[in-house]
């Protein structure tokens, strides 16, 4: 899953990035409202963390612009403002959730997981199909109760397919959601990651629709 952090406090932004990358997220960063608005309008993020007090363009203005132009990416607002009216303004501007500074990173991570599940229509943090289980809280994968070790790229592909289960996902879409903005997005390597997942988790989990993409069907 790919996340944009729009935060001008660079130490805090780096702390959040470190935590999210350790959880297997792909993270881009913007340190002013203009850059945030551009990236959020042009890149396919799964979630955006948006500070209200951004320089150049404030976060609420950026958020209103996104919503006015049809950008429906889930947005979690971060702010040092703790008044109830500020929370109302943020939510009415189109935010999906709100967190005031200071906050615990564990709570931020939990809110992100919940928002991504809601966006993809999932409610259970643990995905299961047959004897395969994938726990989104820690990216732990088991087959018949036996833990399996995945690389960061393999975990990212599996997570995206599970979150979008029963929907056909193209190689290019997968590539857009597992690589950073300035990363080398080679959609051909997606086939390599899928083949590795099949070797570790079995051939039946991920189905290929030739020339169109991949799908995980009918999970419990």
pLDDT at 18: 96
Please tell me whether residues 167 and 189 are part of one structural domain. Answer: yes
Q: Which has the closest alpha carbon to 131: 213, 38, 205, 35?
A: 205
How many C-beta atoms surround the C-beta of residue 16 within 10 A?
A: 24
Q: Is the residue at 220 inside a domain?
A: no
- 69 is written with which tokens? 């132009």
Q: Using CA atoms, how far apart are residues 182 and 205, in angstroms rounded to an integer?
A: 31
pTM for this predicted structure: 0.90
CATH number at residue 154: 1.10.10.10
Contact 5, 49 (CB under 8 A): yes
Residue 41 is part of which domain span?
A: 2-119
* Ranges of residues in the chain whose predicted pLDDT is under 50: none
- Which helix (DSSP H) or strand (DSSP E) does residue 135 occupy? strand 132-135
Please tell me whether residues 72 and 174 are part of one structural domain. Answer: no
Give ∠ CA 169-159-186 in degrees, rounded to 5. Answer: 55
CATH number at residue 24: 3.40.50.2300
Chain segment 43-65, per-residue pLDDT in tens = 999 999 999 999 999 999 999 99
Please tell me whether residues 108 and 170 are part of one structural domain. Answer: no
Q: What's the domain count of the chain?
A: 2
């Amino acid at each position: 899953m790919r996340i944009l952090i729009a935060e001008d406090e660079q130490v805090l932004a780096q702390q959040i990035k470190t935590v999210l990358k350790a959880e297997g997220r792909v993270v881009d960063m913007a340190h002013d409202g203009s850059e945030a608005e551009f990236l959020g309008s042009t890149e396919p993020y799964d979630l955006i963390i948006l500070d209200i007090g951004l320089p150049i363009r404030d976060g609420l203005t950026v958020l209103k612009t996104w919503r006015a132009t049809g950008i429906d990416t889930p947005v979690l607002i971060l702010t040092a403002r703790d008044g109830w009216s500020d929370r109302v303004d943020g939510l009415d501007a189109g935010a999906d959730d709100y967190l005031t500074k200071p906050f615990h990173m564990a709570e931020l991570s939990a809110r992100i997981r919940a928002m991504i599940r809601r966006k993809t229509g999932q409610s259970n943090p643990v995905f299961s199909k047959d004897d395969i289980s994938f726990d989104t809280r820690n990216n732990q994968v088991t087959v018949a109760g036996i833990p399996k070790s995945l690389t960061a790229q393999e975990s990212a592909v599996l997570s995206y397919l599970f979150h979008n289960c029963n929907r056909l996902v193209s190689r290019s879409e997968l590539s857009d959601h597992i690589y950073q903005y300035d990363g080398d997005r080679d959609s051909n390597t997606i086939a390599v990651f899928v083949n590795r997942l099949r070797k570790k988790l079995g051939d039946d989990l991920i189905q290929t629709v030739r020339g169109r993409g991949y799908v995980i069907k009918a999970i419990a």
